């Protein structure tokens, strides 16, 4: 009898994981247009023009289309060449401190993040917590491919931040 209960629980967990993973594998950010304007606001801005770097600090909010990134600090790396309207092109954003990335269907919290515009990839690390309607996953590192929408979470030991394994909690379907 105990074997049957254990098997039922295992079957349920496998089913719940497969539903969550199949829905989580494709982010709402699939086909996110990295060429859309990026709006940034913060309490403070420091620009190092010769190095093509800008530092935004304090309650930083970055928005691009239906995606937003909140953080304590954002370092913007931009290209030296000027566009048609004399604006610089952003090549990368580095976020640190209380990072939160939101899309229409998911919220991801982490310690740090890197948004690489050329590669169309957002990498979040530290203590990552991914939430959507199906449940919650935690991991030391998460990567979102903005072209494919694929989300990849990796295990690995992060100093002082848990087991270093990908783990999750799922919401079972309501019984009828």
d(CA 17, CA 1): 24
Q: What pLDDT, in 10s, does the model give residues 49-87?
A: 999 999 999 999 999 989 999 999 999 999 876 556 545
Domains and CATH numbers, the chain: 2-170 (2.60.450.10)
170, 126, 155, 16: CA torsion to nearest 10: 10
Q: What pLDDT, in 10s, does the model give residues 119-156?
A: 999 999 998 999 988 888 888 899 999 888 888 888 76
Closest CA to 103 of 67, 129, 72: 67
DSSP state of 8: H
d(CA 89, CA 87): 7
Looking at per-residue confidence, does 90 or 7 come out higher?
A: 90
Q: What angle do CA 67, 59, 55 make, to 5 degrees?
A: 90
């Amino acid at each position: 009898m105990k074997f049957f209960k254990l098997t039922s629980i295992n079957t349920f967990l496998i089913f719940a994981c497969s539903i969550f993973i199949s829905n989580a594998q494709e982010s709402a950010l699939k086909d996110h247009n990295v060429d859309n304007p990026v709006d940034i606001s913060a309490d403070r801005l420091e620009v190092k023009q010769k190095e093509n770097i800008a530092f935004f600090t304090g309650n930083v909010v970055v928005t691009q289309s239906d995606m937003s990134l909140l953080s304590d600090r954002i370092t913007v790396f931009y290209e030296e060449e000027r566009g048609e309207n004399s604006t610089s092109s952003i090549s990368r954003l580095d976020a640190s401190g209380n990072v939160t990335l939101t899309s229409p269907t998911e919220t991801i919290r982490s310690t740090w993040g890197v948004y690489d515009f050329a590669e169309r990839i957002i990498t979040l690390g530290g203590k990552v917590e991914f939430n959507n309607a199906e449940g919650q996953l935690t991991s030391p590192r998460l990567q979102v491919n903005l072209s494919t929408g694929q989300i990849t979470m990796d295990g690995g030991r992060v100093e002082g931040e848990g087991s270093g394994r990908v783990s999750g909690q799922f919401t079972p379907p309501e019984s009828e």
